[in-house]
Each structure stands twice: as C-alpha cells, then as structure tokens.
Amino acid sequence: MSSIDVRELCGQIADSRRNRTPRGSLSETGSLPLDVAYQVQATMAREREAAGDSIIGYKLGLISPDKQRQMGVSEPIIGHVHRSMIINPGEPVRRDRFIQPRMEPELAVVFGRPVGEGARPGQIAAAIDFVLLVIDVLDSIYAGYRFTAGDVVADNASGGAVVVGSRVLPADVLFDGDDRRLRLLTGRTWHGGSVDSLGDPIGWIAWAADKAASLGRGVRRGDMLLLGSPCPAVPLPEAGPLLAEGPLGSHVLARVE
Amino acid sequence: MHIVAEELARILEDAWQNRRPVDPFHESHGLQDVETAYRIQQAWMAMRLGQGETVVGRKIGLTSRAMQQQLGVNEPDFGTLLKGWELPVESGVAVASMRRFIQPRVEGEIAFLLGEDLEGPGVTVVDVFRATVAVAAAVEVIDSRIRDWRIRLVDTVADNASCGGFAVGPWNSGWRDLDLSRLGMGLYVEGNLSSTGSGAAALGHPAACVAWLANKLFAMGDRLRAGDVVLSGSLGPAVPVGEGSWVRLEVAGLEPVDVYFGA
C-alpha cells in the first residue's frame, strides 16, 4: 500500500470515532498488512499528540497464544495511551464518550527510566517505578469487535480509556504474592483471572520496548505500559458502579454515568 | 463597579494584620468573577512576599461535595501556603496563638511533598504518584477575613482560599504502601471526636486534587514545583476552635498531629 492509503485509512478511522459509528473491517477490500496498520496507528498517535493530547505510554493486547492464534498472528499487539484516556480515581466514567465499550482488569507498569531497544531483564526490572491496577476500557470502531489483526492495530489496539486504581503497587506483584487475581464486578458476579496467566511480564515489556522503538518514540521515563488482561473483555455497564480488585487490596472504584 | 485587584488585596492585608474582618467583596465591591478573585489573591500574596514572606506550597479548598454544594460550585479552589503562616510541629505538637486568627476552624487533610515539578496540561494521578516524595497528616486552620464567614466562591478565592495557618505532621516516605483514598481520618477537639472522613472525601482521591491543581495552575500560567508542600483538601467537615482548644488529628497509617491554640 502507498502512503496515500495510510492517510486515507487514518481519515476513515478518525471519522468512525468522531461520529461514534461502528464500521466494518478495513480489510474487506483486501488484507491490511500489520506494518501498514502500525503506520496508520503511529501517524494517528502523532497527530493526536500534535493536537495537544500527548502520548504517555502503551498498551499490550493479544498476549495469550490462544488469542494470537485466533487472530492469525504470532506476536502480541501494542497501542498508544494518550493523556486524555486516563480517568483518575473519583472521576466518573462518561459512557457517551465511547462507541461500544468493553472492559478488562489489568496491571500497568509505570517506568522511572526509559527502556531502550534490546534492554536486558535486569535493566527492565530496575526501570519499573511502580505498578497500578487499572480497568482497560476497550472501544473498537469495528461493529461487534469483528476485526482482523491489521484492523485492530490500525485502530490503536481498541484503546478507549484507562481507569486508574487508587494505590501504587510494588513491582513484586508482577512476580509473586499470595493474591494473584485480577477481577471485575460484572452485574453481581466476579469475572477475572490470575496475574500468572499473563506469562513473563519482563519478556512482554522487552517486546513492547522494542516495538515502541520501532514505531519511533520508544518507552520514556514516566510512561505507563498496560500488560494485557488475564481474562476476556466484558461489556462496560450502561450506568452504575465499576469495580475491579487486584493484589494487596488494590481496587479501581468508579461510576459509569 | 471597576475592581482594582491591588485595592482589594490591601483591604485583605489590613484585615489580616488587624484581625478585623471586612464585608464580603461580592456585596461591597460587586465582585463576581473568579478570575478577578484570583488576581486579588495573587496581588495579596505579592504584597506578602514583598514583606519578606516566602512560599511553602499550595492548599486546595472546596474538595468535598458538601462544601461545593454549599457554595454552589463544581470545582475546588486553591491558595498559597506562606512560610509565616506555618505552625511549626515539634515532636508532633504545634502551638498556635489565637492572636493570629479571626474566626478559625480546623480541618484534617493529607499533605503532599513533591520531588518533581508538576506542570499541566493533562496532569494525572499517575504523574502525582511519580512526583510524590512523602505524605503527612496536616491540620489546616482555615480562617476568613470576611465577616462571619459570609463567603461566596469569589470571596474565599480572593481571601487566599480562607487559609489561616497549617501544621504538617512528620513526613511519611513509605506512603506507597498506603491507599491514600482509603485512609480514615478522625479530628478530635478537646478529646471529642468532632470530624471524621476518609481520603476519598477529597474529590475521590487526594492525589486527584493535586492533579487538578497542577492543571488549574497551568491554565493560569503557573505550575507546582519540586519541594512544594500541597495540602490536598479537607477530608471531613471543618470544626470551629477557640482559645485553649486542643486539636488532635489522626489519619490511619500516618503520624498524628496535635495543635494547641494558646492565648
């Protein structure tokens, strides 16, 4: 595909999001290669940043081998996190800013130092300032989340919002501890999975740092990285309480309005 | 009515110096807009700094829904913490002279000590978590230079967010082990539990208040600075105090602070 196609795709995605209208796959008229999809994503992220909504980190998706097989890819995907996506503790989650929101409980690492390409495990561990429990709000532009890997990458890995938990967690929670569960309240039942099912966090951080470098910006001091969900996404409630729980009694507690 | 910020700042300075309250500016001068009120506050603080005062940090006010509803507003306000208004805490105890105040009330708060600048726009709690070196329990003495506390938003904003003094307890650098939104607060006056609350009472999270302030300051061409102390907002209702009052603030996980109001 030519660079004109990248511009055209950026425009289509921006239109869907602006009008809050779900759309069909971008790949319907032919496959959308991952490298072109990442060009689309990076172009849109830079434009959003130029408009004042700075990039403050990244999110990982498709970290489980099952999900990867399902999407026909052999590695995870990465998306950009912008400032305006962050919802602080105590802020309501405004339902009307999304198209078809779903949510997942996740851990996010926040870096006290940059993480360069080819960083060694020890360097990565030392670069982690702290960890947060978050609710990752996904918001795909594709109707019913029916998309190809290229589609979802071009759509910034379905990034919608990040509802931040109320306490800082030590990096240790990635590796050990008694309570390994991340769970979300859905209606009156809990839905979740174990941190252990995320695989090797250091390995994923290394992959994300390399990928972020290849997209041009890299992982900087102060950036966050969402490590992916241990369980499938569920719909964001229309209204009412939003609650997730994680290690060391951490929680995300908000209201959907 | 045309309002000259320096004139109203002078009125506040005189009221503060002489401990003699004045009529609300919304009545006496028709003060209506918040921007002008902040200009009055800035002019007053500039006057204080001209007298050799120094700045310790900032305070955030109107962080609770109850206070916002009372004043009919939907966002907090802020003021400046002056070194001369600090009540030094020694061995957990501060002694304050009632002669400093007009109509003081006390509030229980969480103070932040910043190790890095926080500059908007778009500062989030994640930035605040990163920049925070330590937190402490803090008693804020709020006081109004406006007669009988008959304040509207513009009056308290001009009046340095009704700051009167502050006593910051021992800093806790192990705050990362705490969930600041879930810290219980009890404020005792004369041994009576007079005000209770929790961290979440301040905009849902004390760190969210600090983020709000960094963004508010950016909109006004300023920022929070490394080394600043930020009082993040009251965790419960304010309680009036008088000569001889002994106030004790307890916040779970933090060292308590006692303040004695002497003659």
- Closest-CA residue of B relative to A253 is B204
Contact yes or no for B204/A89 (Cβ under 8 A): yes
B258 or A72, which is more confident?
B258
Whether the CB-CB separation of A58 and A86 falls below 8 Å is answered with no
Is the Cβ of B93 closer than 8 Å to some Cβ of chain A?
A: no
**Which A residues, 62 through 91, put their C-beta within 8 Å of a C-beta on chain B?**
83-84, 86, 88-91
- Tell me what pLDDT residue A202 has: 96
CB contact under 8 A, A168 and B200: no
Given a cut of 90, is residue A71 above it in pLDDT? no
Mutate to test the interface with A, among B110, B117, B124, B216 (most CBs of A within 10 A): B124
Instruction: For residue A241, give Cα distances in angstroms to A24, B186, B199.
Output: 31, 27, 19
Pair B78, B160: CB distance under 8 Å: no
Among A81, A91, A242, the strongest candidate for a mutation testing the B interface, having the largest count of B CBs within 10 A, is A91
Q: Does A54 touch chain B (CB under 8 A)?
A: yes
**pTM for this predicted structure:** 0.95
Complex-level ipTM: 0.94
Q: Spell out which residues of chain A touch residue B176, defining contact as CB-CB under 8 Å.
A: 130, 167-168, 170
Which pLDDT band, with edges at 50, 70 and 90, does B225 fall under?
A: very high
Taking 70 as the threshold, does the pLDDT of residue A121 lie above it?
yes
Least confident of A169-178, B130-139, B154-163, B224-233: A169-178
Please check the confidence at residue B56 and state whether its pLDDT lies above 60.
Answer: yes
Interface of A with B in 129-148 (CB under 8 A): 129-130, 132
Q: Out of A53, A54, A86, whose CB is closest to B126?
A: A86
Q: Work out the percent of chain B whose per-residue pLDDT is above 70.
A: 100
Q: Is the pLDDT of residue B2 over 90?
A: no
Q: What is the pLDDT averaged over residues B142-147?
A: 98
Question: Is residue A42 predicted with pLDDT exceeding 80?
Answer: yes
Mean pLDDT (whole number) for A34-51: 96
pLDDT exceeds 70 at position B167:
yes
Mean pLDDT, residues B60-87 taken together? 94
pLDDT for residue A4 = 54
The predicted structure's pLDDT at residue A95 = 96
Q: Which of A83, A89, A110 sits opposite B130 (nearest CB)?
A: A110
Give the model's confidence band at A198: pLDDT under 50 very low, under 70 low, under 90 confident, else very high.
confident
Residue A31 has a pLDDT of 79
Cα separation of B25 and B37, whole Å? 9
What integer pLDDT is reported at residue A72 of this predicted model? 87
Nearest by CB to B208, which of A89, A130, A224? Answer: A89
3-class DSSP string for B103-170: CCEEEEEEEEEECCCECCCCCCHHHHHHHEEEEEEEEEEECCCEHHHCCCHHHHHHCHHHEEEEEECC
Shortest CB distance from B204 goes to which of A89, A132, A224? A89
Inter-CA distances, B40 with A27, A52, B52, B142, B238, Å? 59, 31, 19, 18, 25
pLDDT, tens digit (0-9, with 9 covering 90-100), for A125-141: 999 999 999 999 999 99
CB of B246 closer than 8 Å to CB of B163: no
Shortest Cα–Cα distance, B89 to chain A (Å): 28
Per residue in B113-123, pLDDT (tens digit) is 999 999 999 99
Average pLDDT score over chain B: 96
- pLDDT 10s digits, A155-195: 999 999 999 999 999 999 999 888 899 999 988 899 999 99
What residue type is assigned to position A219 of the chain?
Answer: V
What does the pLDDT read at residue A66? 86
Residues of A with CB below 8 A from B133's CB?
Answer: none
* Residue A106: closest CA among A210, A209, A211, A197: A197
Is B208 an interface residue toward A (CB < 8 Å)?
Answer: yes
pLDDT number for residue A1: 47
Q: Give the per-residue SS3 of B14-82.
A: HHHHHCCCECCHHHHCCCCCHHHHHHHHHHHHHHHHHCCCCEEEEEEECCCHHHHHHHCCCCCEEEEEE
pLDDT value, residue B206 = 98
State mean pLDDT over A49-65: 95
Domains of chain B from N-terminus onward: 55-262 (3.90.850.10)
User: Which of B124, B176, B182 is closest, CB to CB, to A88?
Assistant: B124
Chain A hits for B204, Cβ within 8 Å: 88-91
Instruction: Find the CB nearest B129 among A53, A56, A130.
Output: A130
- pLDDT score of B90 more than 50: yes
Q: Write down the pLDDT at residue B47.
A: 97
Residue A167 and residue B178: Cβ atoms within 8 Å? yes
Would an 8 Å CB–CB cutoff place B210 in contact with chain A?
no
The superfamily CATH assigns to domain A3-256 is Fumarylacetoacetase-like, C-terminal domain (3.90.850.10)
Q: What is the pLDDT of residue A28?
A: 67
